[in-house]
Chains A and B, each alone.
Chain A
Amino acid sequence: MSLVSGPGRGGITEGQLPSELRLYVDKHVTYIQSLDKRKDELEYWLTEHLRLSGLYWGLTALHLLGQPDALPRSEVLDFVISCLQDDGGFAAAPQHDSHMLYTVSGVQILAMLDALDEFDERVSGGREKVARFIANLQHPKTGTFAGDIWGETDTRFLYGALNALSLLGMTNLVDVDKAVEHVQACANSDGGYGTSPGAESHAGQVFTCVGALAIAGRLDLVDRDKLGGWLSERQLSNGGLNGRPEKLEDVCYSWWVVSSLAMIDRLHWISGSKLQEFILKCQDPDHGGISDRPGDMVDVFHTVFGIAGLSLTKYPGLVEVDPI
């Protein structure tokens, strides 16, 4: 079992938009199911390095669309376990190395399939092994986390670590207070957060930092009005959201911005209906999938974040998503 996460090929000619603004549920389900059957496309092989995350994105989209069984559970589980490495981390695919990003995806899939116990049965002490891999990547002095043994640090990894450890019920293995201190050090005067202390605020990093604080139970540290104001200014007149001031809109911010707003109770500070309109315009109505902007190539990354954005803004018929 494996699944391509790279671009699917949109079927409509350039510039042509969906005629009717509705969610093409069946098309998206078929699109996600088709991703594993595209081995005759070079893109399939060029995206192997993010296969496990691709599977998580596809599976999450299917859960939100109310079709959690559209991918065969046992094959998904087999693939996840085949990505587990000797060091306790997950790789993107069997021939790859462990990394925090894919370890988080692995744990998220196991949790979503309610398979954590099964995982322990199949891999003795599996949960603890994975949790220790994650815990060992925390920097003892600064509280931040590296992505792997090569040492790159980023608040993306810090959030991922807390997310996975909380799903595993093992946040006690790390110094949560130190991690919170690090997040605080990444805060800026505009209310947002950056990748590291001193870095410019970015909606993706706002999500990771606010998410980490939410998991740590420290949302009291967020200046909600200031951050909410900055986040709400991400919405442009076409309804789409950008990630930083004066940048282009992109469907993936429908997740990073909107889930952050939801975590600080400011979801109503943007127009949900305008955002929904924008996301629906990014669909490929013929072959399924959602792209970054109308008319562009679709991929599973934008598909899940588009659908999650619709779910957060209460689009009818979708399963409600947890913003954290």
Chain B
Amino acid sequence: MASHGVPRIAPTEARTGQARQKELEKIEEYVDLVAQVNKNIAERHFTIEVLALTSKLLKRNPEDYTVWNHRRLILQHHFKNPPAASAQSQSVSTALSASQQSVLDLITSDLGFLVPLLVAFPKCYWIWNHRIWLLEQSTSHLPAITVRRLWQDELSLVGKMLNRDKRNFHGWNYRRLVVAQLELHSPSDGHADSSDTSRQTSMVETEFIYTTKMINSDLGNFSAWHNRSKLIPRLLDERQADAAARRKMLDAEFDLTQQGLIDPENQSMWFYHQSLMSTLSPECPRHAAIVLDLTNHDRCGYYERELARVKEMLDDYQDCKWVYQALLQYAAVYREVDAGNKACTTTEMRHWLRELQRLDPLRSGRWDDIEKSLGL
């Protein structure tokens, strides 16, 4: 797409005659290849040879979405009219028919083609998109157990991708999709009947553990914190957690944020802390809730404890704006629940606001608005 992080280079005029000639040759070669593919597709020559030509093009330019479409037309044609599978691949198979085996071979080989491209271009939408399409095709052409094996391999692939780039949002989206598919094609279900939800096997526990692992290796990985915040309510529901277990979970998460706030500039941590605090609100939707039976008394208890913990940070970090921001924000919410609370005074709140205005002039408009809305 657009160029990101590419350093500026010499202008066109500066290129030598030789370099220029070389570029013109490259252009001719590329344009010829495009024309050749287009002609074959227009004439519906959906052959393996044309597929190889699209591979050549896509390796040079994975952003050309039309070539991906061409590739799918060719594959679709072969899924419908499978060629005889080679004797070698047939021997590997357990219970696949010859035509299923050849579909599987095509899909497996295409998935393999994509791996180096994904590694080289991890932010290219079209490559991820093509991968998902291939796997969807497997569902319509192959037995459930084979489909499941394919998705299982995807889980380890996306694990590797996220190890290379821990924040890649394509990777995280893909991981959620793979998990949803694996839950759908659970091993106990030979027929993969998606309407029978009772047979689905949840992966919420293992995914929760995965976020812990990712967070432990990098406390600033907000993508992992985000996923964790989405998993916890489901995890508690599936565990059929009682009131005590839910409180225990919330406390454990608050304790975890305490560890993370060893670095008070860790923005991810503050956003996660804020998301935990928002589950205390009476307006928190059920699908995001952790503790279900909070009374106002409970709420005040949490506000007091967390305010006290954050206040303590002031001993060491008087110039970290995040501390003041959290204090002011939570104090304001606390005041709404209990106007007469003793945990923080208006004088204190005014002081925190002044500190924010001092430390964070970029967002002065925001602090001024808060000053007005809180009547400070």
Q: Is the C-beta of A302 less than 8 angstroms from some C-beta in chain B?
A: yes
- B contact residues around A299 at 8 Å (CB): 2-3
- B contact residues around A200 at 8 Å (CB): 169, 172, 222-223, 226-227
Q: Let me know if A49 and B63 touch, CB within 8 A.
A: yes
Within the complex, which residue of A10, A39, A47, A99 is in contact with B11, where a contact is CB–CB below 8 Å?
A: A10
- A contact residues around B275 at 8 Å (CB): 189-190
Q: Is the C-beta of B375 less than 8 angstroms from some C-beta in chain A?
A: no
- A contact residues around B23 at 8 Å (CB): 40-42
- A contact residues around B20 at 8 Å (CB): 40
Nearest A residue to B64 by beta-carbon distance?
A49
Q: Let me know if A46 and B268 touch, CB within 8 A.
A: no
- Are A10 and B8 CB-contacts (below 8 A) given A45-B31, A244-B222? yes
Q: Is the C-beta of A274 less than 8 angstroms from some C-beta in chain B?
A: yes
Q: Let me know if A301 and B69 touch, CB within 8 A.
A: no
Q: Which of B155-163, B293-301, B359-367 contacts A (4 or more CB under 8 A)?
A: B359-367
Q: Is the C-beta of A103 less than 8 angstroms from some C-beta in chain B?
A: no
**Among A9, A97, A189, A292, residue most surrounded by chain B Cβ atoms (within 10 Å):** A189
- B contact residues around A245 at 8 Å (CB): 222, 267-268, 271
Q: Let me know if A268 and B365 touch, CB within 8 A.
A: yes
Q: Is the C-beta of A60 less than 8 angstroms from some C-beta in chain B?
A: no
- Are A96 and B229 CB-contacts (below 8 A) given A10-B9, A198-B176, A269-B365? no
- Kindly provide the distance from the CB of A241 to the nearest chain B CB, expressed in whole angstroms: 11
A299–B2 Cα distance when bound, in Å, is 7
Within the complex, which residue of A49, A268, A292, A302 is in contact with B66, where a contact is CB–CB below 8 Å?
A: A49
- Kindly provide the distance from the CB of B169 to the nearest chain A CB, expressed in whole angstroms: 6
Nearest A residue to B130 by beta-carbon distance?
A150
- A contact residues around B81 at 8 Å (CB): none
- Are A12 and B1 CB-contacts (below 8 A) given A40-B24, A195-B169, A233-B267? no
- Interface positions, chain B 50-65, Cβ under 8 Å from A, are 60-61, 63-65
Q: Can you name 29 A-B residue pairings with CB atoms under 8 Å?
A: A6-B2, A10-B11, A12-B8, A42-B26, A45-B34, A46-B63, A91-B66, A92-B65, A95-B34, A150-B69, A152-B129, A190-B271, A190-B275, A195-B169, A228-B366, A245-B268, A245-B271, A246-B268, A266-B365, A266-B366, A268-B366, A269-B363, A269-B365, A295-B7, A296-B7, A296-B8, A297-B8, A299-B2, A301-B1
Interface residue ranges, A against B (CB under 8 Å): 5-7, 9-14, 38-42, 45-50, 91-92, 95-97, 99, 148, 150-152, 154, 188-190, 195-196, 198-202, 228-230, 232-233, 235, 237, 244-247, 250, 252, 266, 268-271, 274, 284, 287, 291-293, 295-299, 301-302
Q: Which 7 A-B pairs have the closest CB atoms?
A: A10-B8, A268-B365, A301-B2, A269-B366, A297-B6, A7-B3, A96-B66
Q: Given A41-B27, A96-B66, A152-B132, list of 5 further CB < 8 A pairs?
A: A9-B8, A49-B61, A199-B176, A235-B362, A246-B220
